[in-house]
Chain A
Amino acid sequence: MSVPLSHVLIVASLMFAMGLGCVVAWRANVIMMLIGIEIMLNAVMLTFVGGSAHWGIADGQLFSLMLMALTSAEVSLALAMVVYLHRRKQTVDTDQFDSMKG
């Protein structure tokens, strides 16, 4: 395939910028913030795979596999925490969770 590496990096950075915007804009909804984090991690995976294909080394693909395992661990913990918080206050609005009382 004859696509320059810079185009892959452009797509990945646009994706990262949109995920960052999602996290910053949806501060009122925990689930949308998690979705923004997912988008950013996928942009990083695209960068890894593009670099791996450009230099012909398998390490980038390996790191994207590790990133996938990390993301599944992160999402399972974060969604369990969302369920816990929703059970406590019946909302997913982050502004409601402003106290640190155990």
Chain B
Amino acid sequence: MEATLFYILAAVLLIGILLAITARQVVRSIVYLVTSFFALALMFYLLGAPLIAAFEVIIYAGAIMVLFLFVIMMLELESPEKLPHPHLKNWLPALLLAGAVVGSLVVLLCSRLQAVPPGFIEIPVRQFAFALFKQYGVAVEVVSMQLLFALVGALYLGRRR
């Protein structure tokens, strides 16, 4: 049952991303991406990470993608038909690179067919929080400094002169 749900969510995720990277307008691409990030959040929940699933919905779908939407609406881009759309010439190296990644994946899977035993261990939020604030306390401080620097940098870049 859960495995079936996982595969359905994986299909939704991959189709949503495929539609997002081939969309003609940026706003549509953002909406497709929000859909696929919701599917990704459910996959995180199935993998035993409820906190990361909640953060995925709140931070990614709720904040970062809405920030993208704000900027797109604010920029008043000219009509979307006039925006340059990649030709086949531009898609060719992209397909080549993606094909290289997928091909190496196939080679890797064919060479090592012995399967790891299935089954995932759920990690409770208590263990997560313990590791976060006891073991990686310095990293939390570093991340907070990094967010402060990003805030100052964004203010500097965005000021009117």
Q: Which residues of A contact B (CB under 8 A)?
A: 1-8, 10-11, 13-22, 24-29, 31-32, 34-36, 38-39, 42, 45-46, 49-50, 52-59, 61-62, 64-66, 68-77, 79-84, 86, 92-93
Contact = CB atoms under 8 A, between A and B. Distances in A.
A61 B6 contact: no
Interface residues of B, number: 78
B158 A84 contact: yes
12 contacts: A7-B7, A10-B105, A14-B14, A17-B102, A18-B98, A35-B20, A35-B68, A42-B37, A45-B56, A65-B52, A73-B147, A84-B157
A3 B93 CA distance: 33
Contacts of A52: 47, 49, 123
A38 B86 CA distance: 19
Contacts of B49: 49, 52-53, 61, 64
A93 B139 CA distance: 37
Say what secondary structure dominates the interface of chain B.
helix
Given A10-B105, A66-B139, A21 B98 contact: yes
Given A53-B120, A53-B122, A71-B64, A36 B97 contact: no
Given A21-B21, A31-B71, A15 B116 contact: no
Interface of B: 2-3, 6-7, 10, 13-14, 17-18, 20-21, 26, 29-30, 33, 37, 40, 43-44, 46-49, 51-52, 55-56, 59-60, 63-64, 67-68, 71-72, 74-75, 77, 83-86, 90-91, 93-95, 97-98, 101-102, 105, 109, 115-116, 118-123, 127-128, 130-132, 136, 139, 143, 146-147, 149-151, 153-154, 157-158
Contact of B26 (A16, A31, A76, A80): A31
A78 B115 CA distance: 41
B59 A3 contact: no
Contacts of A21: 21, 91, 94-95, 97-98
Contact of B29 (A27, A35, A61): A35
Contacts of B47: 1, 8, 49-50, 52-53
